[in-house]
Amino acid sequence: AYKPPAIAASTNFTAAVFIVHGGVFTHRTVMIIAGAPFDNIFAPSFFNYLPYLDALIVSLLWTFGLIIMLNQRLNAEMTEAKEHFELIFNTSPDAALISRLTDGVIANINDGFTALTGYNRAETIGKSTLAVNIWKDPADRQKVVQEMSEKGFCANMEAVFLRKDGSQAVGLLSAKFITLHNIPHIISVTRDITERKQAEDEIRLLKDHLEQRVLERTAQLEESNRELEAFTYSVSHDLRSPLRAVEGYARILWEDFGSRLDDEGRRICGTISKNGRNMGKLIDNLLAFARIGRMEMQRSTVDMATLAQSVFLELTNPEERERIDFHVGPLPRAIGDPALIRQVWENLIGNAVKFSAKKEQAAIEIGCREEGSGQPEAGSHEPNLGAELLSSASHIPDSEIFYFVRDNGAGFDMLYADKLFRVFHSLHSPGEFAGLGAGLAIAQRIIHRHGGQIWAEGAADKGATFYFTLGKEV
């Protein structure tokens, strides 16, 4: 096994001392056996003092040897730590730099620094960072020193560096104080983020460009919508005059010449009058549809439960109310335009009444639910109107109150659900149920103006459920 030289020398000398001690003690033993006087044996002499002198020398040598051993071990550890530091310093992919605190004179750099700036060791060591001109803003070095003075370190400071070829590099710099030869230095490590910053700048430019395009397209769409609404309103208004003429002449023909007409002629007159009235309703609906986008919103608190009850009473007669099992659950108040929200209730409840007209015992339920609150609020008893539709609703906004109108009427096929809210489009033929197909489109436009959503779910001959949102209760 390896022994440090100092320990080996001390061991060898100790062995020699033990041999001398053995000789001294053997000589004394022989003299005692031979009967020599004790005064002669232990009389003061160099030979008798030699064991004590040897012990002192051995103690000093061992102490000296231990000191040398510890010093050698410390030197070995320091050498190993230095080698590890140099290995990490030189092989780091980031730019590493050691510079004097007072004037920034460079003591060492690594290959990562050369890769970042283009300067090698011969061009930098012994020169200050300002003389090498690696800072785009020379004040950045002072900022690093100031932050280190305040915190004891500098972490992830973004700085721009000048490369040897004149280009620029962006880096994240971190630094700490170290001492070399009793002189304070700064060791800094800089990570090159030039490509990342370029990518961020490109993304930012694209985002700004996209936002500008969106603003422009939004403005164009708003202008197109205004023009379309104005055109629709104008055309609908202008159609009233010729329509009144057609209806008027059909009525004159019926009243003044009805007796001269045969059955086919009277049928044709009736058809003209009927279609004229339908055309008038279409124009009224078209005007209402266009007017919704033009009218100014008058927001206030709306009592939804009272409004729904009132609308049902206005839309039905006593016979219908006797046939319909109508329930309104507790409904939270809403903020919106009372007249427009009333129109929504009229269209949705009106549809429920109309499409459940062929049921001997119709059921219409009005309720609400706040997403995440569990079952919807409804009346004292809930008829089986396909409650599973509610649990499968996929359009429910998170943390928002939604109202619903549910009936057990004709329902509809979900394959055609996307056509429900198209203006003048109906999933049922006019022979089955009267109507022009504008009510749901008008309701949707009103809901969208309030910033809400409207959707529906149903099944053929199993009823339908219409949902809409208007925001939180007040």
Q: Is the model's pLDDT at 383 over the cut of 50? A: no
Summarize pLDDT for 238-285 with one digit per residue, the tens. 777 787 888 888 888 888 888 888 888 888 888 888 778 777 777 776
Where is the domain boundary, 166, 192, 218?
A: 192
pLDDT at 81: 78
Average pLDDT over residues 58-75: 75
435 within domain boundaries: yes
The model's confidence at residue 77, banded by pLDDT at 50, 70 and 90, is: confident
pLDDT at 33: 72
**SS3 label, residue 283:** helix
Summarize pLDDT for 125-165 with one digit per residue, the tens. 999 999 999 999 999 999 999 999 999 999 999 999 999 99
pLDDT at 412: 83
Q: What is the percentage of the chain residues whose pLDDT exceeds 90?
A: 31
410 within domain boundaries: yes
Question: What CATH number is given to the structural domain containing 404?
Answer: 3.30.565.10
Contacts (Cβ under 8 Å, ≥6 apart) of 356: 324, 362, 363, 364, 407, 408, 409, 410, 463
Summarize pLDDT for 459-473 with one digit per residue, the tens. 888 888 999 998 554
| Co-location of 457 and 332 in the same domain | yes
474 within domain boundaries: no
pLDDT at 80: 81
pLDDT at 385: 40
Q: Is the model's pLDDT at 450 over the cut of 90? A: no
| Co-location of 99 and 68 in the same domain | no
Q: For residues 267 and 287, which has the higher predicted lDDT (pLDDT)? A: 267
424 within domain boundaries: yes
Q: For residues 174 and 253, which has the higher predicted lDDT (pLDDT)? A: 174
438 within domain boundaries: yes
Structural domain containing residue 328:
298-469
| Co-location of 317 and 350 in the same domain | yes
Alpha helices in 186-333 (DSSP H): 194-257, 263-294, 304-315, 318-323
| Co-location of 204 and 168 in the same domain | no
* Pairing relationship of beta strands 324-328 and 362-370 according to DSSP bridges: parallel
Find the range with the poorest average confidence among 188-197, 213-222, 433-442.
433-442
51 within domain boundaries: yes
287 within domain boundaries: yes
Stated length of the chain: 474
Q: Give the best-scoring range by mean pLDDT among 383-387, 401-405, 435-439.
A: 401-405
| Co-location of 283 and 358 in the same domain | no
Q: For residues 345 and 296, which has the higher predicted lDDT (pLDDT)? A: 345
Q: Is the model's pLDDT at 89 over the cut of 90? A: no
Q: For residues 405 and 76, which has the higher predicted lDDT (pLDDT)? A: 405
| Co-location of 143 and 22 in the same domain | no
Cβ count within 10 A of residue 181:
6
| Co-location of 373 and 465 in the same domain | yes
Average pLDDT over residues 402-419: 84
Where is the domain boundary, 293, 326, 349?
A: 293
Cβ count within 10 A of residue 222:
10
Cβ-defined contacts of 246-255 (< 8 Å, 24+):
246/272, 246/276, 247/272, 247/273, 247/276, 247/277, 247/280, 250/276
Across all residues in the chain, what is the average pLDDT? 79
Q: Is the model's pLDDT at 418 over the cut of 60? A: yes
pLDDT at 25: 63
pLDDT at 279: 75
Question: What CATH number is given to the structural domain containing 214?
Answer: 1.10.287
Whole-Å CA distances, 101 to 97, 121, 126, 172, 306: 12, 19, 13, 19, 79
The model's confidence at residue 396, banded by pLDDT at 50, 70 and 90, is: very low
Q: Are 213 and 171 in contact (CB under 8 A)?
A: no
| Co-location of 117 and 217 in the same domain | no
| Co-location of 244 and 318 in the same domain | no
| Co-location of 156 and 219 in the same domain | no
| Burial (0-12, 13-18, 19+ Cβ within 10 Å), 79 | exposed
Where is the domain boundary, 136, 159, 192?
A: 192
pLDDT at 297: 79
| Co-location of 279 and 319 in the same domain | no
pLDDT at 402: 87
Distance of CA 69 to the CA centre of its chain: 61
The model's confidence at residue 374, banded by pLDDT at 50, 70 and 90, is: very low
- For the record, the structure tokens of 270 come out as 């009736």
Total structural domains within the chain: 4
| Co-location of 415 and 457 in the same domain | yes
CA distance 253 to 422: 37
119 within domain boundaries: yes
